[in-house]
Structure 1
């Protein structure tokens, strides 16, 4: 019997204990473990958690095993803290007989995501957490933030997810702080890798449901661009917080939705359920943000009036000089009719070709896809790039333009249904 099955710690919540134990039993049966083709040995090396073998399972960690806890972020329904995990992630080496032997682990910096109101966490919300785990554990070679376990804050009794700490800033802050330094080649690189990771999520038939630039983490250094290989296994982009945009203590009725208003697809504002195409709409909104350097509808109140205009076809503007092929693709993503939007696979293929057209490593010049040769695409983005240093990005934000998740409810007496702001935590 593997030693990691004998953890007697309890969350004092039967549903959460059962969930955590299920991940441990799966690990025991060798259903899932990290394997990057490098086996841990005792030689002196710089191997870290991303290039050794060890079983994947969640841990219940007492809150007193964390030190130096500092709040680093806040969303509509959760707060995020950085903390030093004294014990670090438990790691085990697989032995020749199939058993696992625990090895020493070191303290690591992690992020703790507090789930507001989770003292009475709902079954439905726990299902969403399980989806997060399923994604993280099956997509270990992609760029999802790693999910280590759960803990409970002593004072509030609210549950917290333990995830990998990322020093990356989110995409919104990257655009805000470095817009004039980001070449069009880099914009396309970011979008291409983002579409690749969204493809991994959609492959599991999961909708993100809260896809916006604040939930995308980017490592960007214009002087140290990583090789852009076919597997996209570098860690340039992280997607976070899918399925967890609402309060943890209840499942919302069909006439309610949580999110950031400018990124919510019009059919969702009209009371229809989220689909994979709803995420594609949000992707199109992100494309406008990357073009303009400003959050969508920053000058507007995020209220009923804006919702109505979105349902009637209003879309964010692009910066002057944005290539027409870029705007055409973004508008296709933002089409009011969901099935007229591209699939994430179609989106990824186009963006990948664009990136290859702009990057010297892959550029051939005469290759043609999607109606354009590489040299034509390259010329379009190079011309647009000349204008970036002179673009003025400072903007005045309306105090009622809110970019954290909120809950909206729908008025069933209106057609189309228009969301009314219910509350904002």
Structure 2
């Protein structure tokens, strides 16, 4: 087996944390058994004479990388429980060619720009938090045939001794900033495309039975070029949109209290505020909140203090408002996602099917006009969103944010509130 894969196994590189070492070693053992591979193009075939580097598979595994192998480190972001840096990884991600005998031969790698996510307080990283990191690895492993976010390995900051995740660097902005900066340029067709691809990515996460637990517009990264809408197509496995930070909303060290909730308050489902565990339907609630944000161009409850008072009102049925002129079918779907009763919300598969049909109804390539699903014909759906789109350029989105409206993840300690009130109207599609 090639040297780079073996070096960690032979303890030349160690995190000095038994749990993390064991985790990384397990990914290497799996790679040695050829369980999964990076794919930078079409599937590898020994009979293919094309030597293009983009058509070769590589084993996929995590690496432990000494911190001195990074240069030009700059902070580029900060959340409630982590900081994010850009850095130049001197060695770059290991790459290999598969040989005729099934073995792997190392190829020369080049320096690459990566993101380093420093996990605050992770000197004593908990078993529970490490499990969430393992879930991220499992999820990214299912995305290897895409250009989505890649998880390369881990390192440790020398001064603080805090662990850092090594992730593919992306110049994409998050959805919240996209809405803030380009709201009046984003057509309704684009809004539906974003939501359709977002539901597709969430579907992949839920297929593994994983809850995101911190699903909000700051954790969704979007490629958008208002001058080139060709970037948006029907490839649901492209890199136009991806989700980050699932399962990692809280601190990396162990929390004893079980009445604590981590996240961004307006996106937290009412049953979670009531002390119930996160479920897949909790993510669907957050999806509905994101739909209101895409409609209005403003973060949910930006004018309110994000405190216990707002939490109580959310539990009693308060929901963000939509922009005037938003199509009724859109509002009905969002309200269904935000239903106070979790199992009255759609599954992510149901959500994806509806949004995909809407997107195809708005897209010329797939538009037939008379095709009908979910109670509406394509031409009716297209007409609704085209009419709504006429108002977008004139919508005023500037807003005053309450200084106590916080859109980074925080820890909340709540007593159980009264059960959410059942809305007087349950919307159906």
Settle same-fold status: TM greater than 0.5.
Answer: yes
Q: 2:220 touches 2:244 (CA, 8 Å); kept in 1?
A: yes
Cα distance in 1 for partners of 2:263, 2:354 equals 28
> Which deviates more from structure 2 when the two are superposed, residues 3-12 or residues 73-82?
3-12
Write the deviation string for residues 210-255 of structure 1: whole angstroms up to 9, x where unpaired: 0000000000123333476665121100100000000001145331
TM-score w.r.t. the length of structure 2 is 0.92
Contact kept in structure 2, 1:269 and 1:417, CA below 8 Å? no
In 2: Cα distance, 1:393 partner to 1:202 partner: 33
Tell me, what secondary structure is at the counterpart of 1:54?
strand
> What per-residue deviation string (whole Å, max 9, x for no partner) do you get for residues 173-202 of structure 1?
000000000000000000000000000000
CA contact (8 A) 2:155 2:165 kept: yes
Instruction: Give me the whole-angstrom Cα distance separating, in 2, the residues matched to 1:89 and 1:229.
Output: 29
C-alpha RMSD over aligned residues: 5.0
Q: Contact conserved, 1:71 with 1:81, CA < 8 A, in 2?
A: yes
Cα deviation, 1:311-361, whole Å, max 9, x if unaligned, reads 000000000000000000000000000000000000000000000000111
**How many Å separate the matches in 1 of 2:428 and 2:115?**
23
Contact 1:298–1:397 under 8 Å retained in 2: yes
Give how far 1:8 is off. 1.9
Distance 1:421 1:277 in 2: 19
Does structure 1 retain, via aligned residues, the 8 Å contact 2:316–2:420? no
Matched, 1:393 2:383: no
Deviating beyond 6 angstroms after TM superposition, the runs of 4 or more aligned structure 1 residues are 1-4, 39-50, 413-425
How much does 1:51 deviate?
5.1
8 Å CA contact 1:184–1:382 kept in 2: the answer is yes
Deviation, structure 1 residue 92: 1.0
Alpha-carbon offset, residue 258 of structure 1: 0.3
User: Any gaps of 5 or more consecutive residues in structure 1?
Assistant: none
| Cα offset, 1:45, TM superposition | 13
Deviation of the 1:275 alpha carbon: 0.2
1:257–1:289 CA distance, 2 compared to 1 (3 A): same
Q: TM-score, normalised by structure 1?
A: 0.93
Determine which of 89, 97, 100 is the counterpart of 1:96.
Answer: 100
Cα distance, 1:330–1:32 mapped onto 2, change above 3 Å: same
Which residue does 2:267 correspond to in 1?
263
Say which is worse superposed, 28-37 or 69-78, in terms of deviation.
Answer: 28-37
In structure 2, stretches of 5+ residues that fail to align are none
Alignment map for 1:344-383 (pairs within 5 Å): 344-383=348-387
With 81-90 and 408-417 compared, the bigger mean Cα shift is at 408-417
1:409 deviates by 1.3
State the secondary structure of the residue aligned to 2:271. helix
CA contact (8 A) 1:129 1:244 kept: yes
Report if the CA contact (8 A) 1:40-1:93 is conserved: no
